[in-house]
Amino acid sequence: MTQKIQCFALNGIVGSVVDVEIDISRGLPAFVLVGLPDTSIKESKERVSSAIKNTGFRVPASKIVINLAPADMRKEGSVFDLAIAIGILLSGEDETFPTAPDLHDTAFIGELGLDGTLRRVNGVLPMLLSAVEHGFKRVIVPFDNKNESAFVTNLDVFAAKNLGDVVRFLNGDTARLEHVRSMDYNQIKSKRTFSEDLKHIKGQYIAKRALEIAAAGGHNILLIGPPGSGKTMLAKCLPTIMPDMTMSESFEVTKIHSIAGTLYNESNGGIITTRPFRSPHHTASRIALVGGGQNAHPGEISLAHNGVLFLDELPEYPRSCLEVLRQPLEDNRITVARANATVDYPAAFTLVASMNPCPCGHFGSRTNKCTCTATAREKYLRKLSGPLMDRIDLHIEADNVTYNDLTSNSSAEPSHAVKSRVEAARSRQRARSEVCNAKMSLEEVKQYCALDTDGERILKTAFEKLQLSARAYSRILRVARTIADLAGSADIKSEHVTEAVGYRSLDRKYNL
């Protein structure tokens, strides 16, 4: 007898329907899996068989053939266990199901333990969203995945703890499974807290102003300064002043983290509402940054989507790792091509990088003397390529703070006050375009970043003296547009251009 149970596989951040076809026929007992399964799926025959027996049901002593269709799409993971087990039990000749349930609009997701318990799996949220698109009415998921399932509407999601409960539920005992109730995104969003705040940072007024501009326009920023000047703390404060994520942005971020298996914090209510802050160590490999592995899983730049990617001590990263950032910084997406899969992941992050100005860290400091030779400084800075620096809009010097700054009782401006100005600037950008200023196309730059005569003169002088590239020119215009938005100005004025150019002066000072 042949049965067809439906499940889902992942292709990047998109779920694809998979038909789990089970055929039980006469012959020597065997368990055959076809349809391009990976090793974890091939091992499911042992998990499923033990789970069925230990739950009190019987595995047919016949030849069992399981096909995962479409057969030309590679499948991975243990997500098919529950669907396979239900299909086998439906195909058996015992009385597990006295009346065959109608499962044409039902899907099953979950990994089985040897005792029949259902374990959480990665990627449930994109699978459920795909279920809605394909017209499914009901999906059964592991109990530990219920939180991230609660934000999917137009779908009945039931959370199960073990295989036995699922069977009894299909036989009519609806109380066996928990019907996952929809949660209000705004209630979850209101619980967001941050451990960092700009009010704790003494001094560094220029750097904090640059962070405000970066948050308002989505601009990339480089912080240059000696050790202990607060570069890392400044970077950690950036998410506290960035605009709140919309529900669609939260869904997109949550899908990526669900696929990567990093969505374990139950305090977030099953969905990520705070902008990600990813800080990979400088020993991270290219694959760790870009994503990859055998099945092209997302990397750090995708996990930082809609958030911040912080690269501390930028020159310490291998040159090859830094160069892979160039495409996603331009396109906001990354295509990961591997032998088993080619996947397109979103990567619209704000890059925050920090570095010392020289190997000892004190070149240009007003409080300490640099001990590096000119050759050593040049070799240190040459680790960074011009094309990468072109893609960083704001170059900021952060010198050591003075003793008076540290001991001052005056309180700095808190993050929530800066955030209110940032959100006002973003609202002006949304009125003009669907994207933030840093992501504007060249056509939009031409339309919305027109300069007056004084602004043109200032930018022309800077272009010639600093020997800027065409990319740097357009990025200065975008930064000037953001500064004007923060000032509430409809037009870009000369002072806005002057400030924007000032954030590129390190091109000349450090020969970046």
Omega into 70 within 30° of 0, i.e. cis?
Answer: yes
What is the pLDDT, as a whole number, of residue 396? 92
Q: Which of the residue ranges 36-40, 180-184, 189-193, 298-302 would you say has the lowest mean pLDDT?
A: 189-193
Residue 98: predicted pLDDT = 84
Mean pLDDT for the chain overall: 90
Task: Tell whether the model's pLDDT for residue 463 goes beyond 50.
Answer: yes
On the question of pLDDT at 190 being above 60, the answer is no
Cβ atoms of 168 and 176 within 8 Å: the answer is: yes
Closest CA to 250 of 395, 428, 129: 129
Whether residue 499 has pLDDT greater than 80: yes
Top-level class of domain 2-179: alpha beta
Q: Residue 351 class from Cβ within 10 Å (0-12 exposed, 13-18 middle, 19+ buried)?
A: buried
Q: Is 181 in contact with 150 (CB distance < 8 Å)?
A: yes
Pull the structure tokens for residue 242: 């960035």
Which has the higher per-residue pLDDT, 247 or 50?
50
**Which residues, including other chains, have CB under 8 Å from residue 357's CB and lie 6 or more apart?**
224, 225, 226, 363, 364, 365, 377, 510
The pLDDT tens digits of the residues spanning 111-159 come to 999 999 999 999 999 999 999 999 999 999 999 999 889 889 899 999 9
The pLDDT of residue 296 is: 82
- Confidence (pLDDT) at 105: 95
Decide if pLDDT at 266 tops 50: no
Instruction: Read off the pTM.
Output: 0.90
Spell out the domain ranges in the chain. 2-179, 198-509
CATH top-level class of 198-509: alpha beta
Reported as a pLDDT band with limits 50, 70 and 90, residue 280 is very high
- Positive or negative: CA dihedral 116, 121, 125, 128: negative
pLDDT at 348: 95
Q: What's the whole-number mean pLDDT along residues 449-459?
A: 95
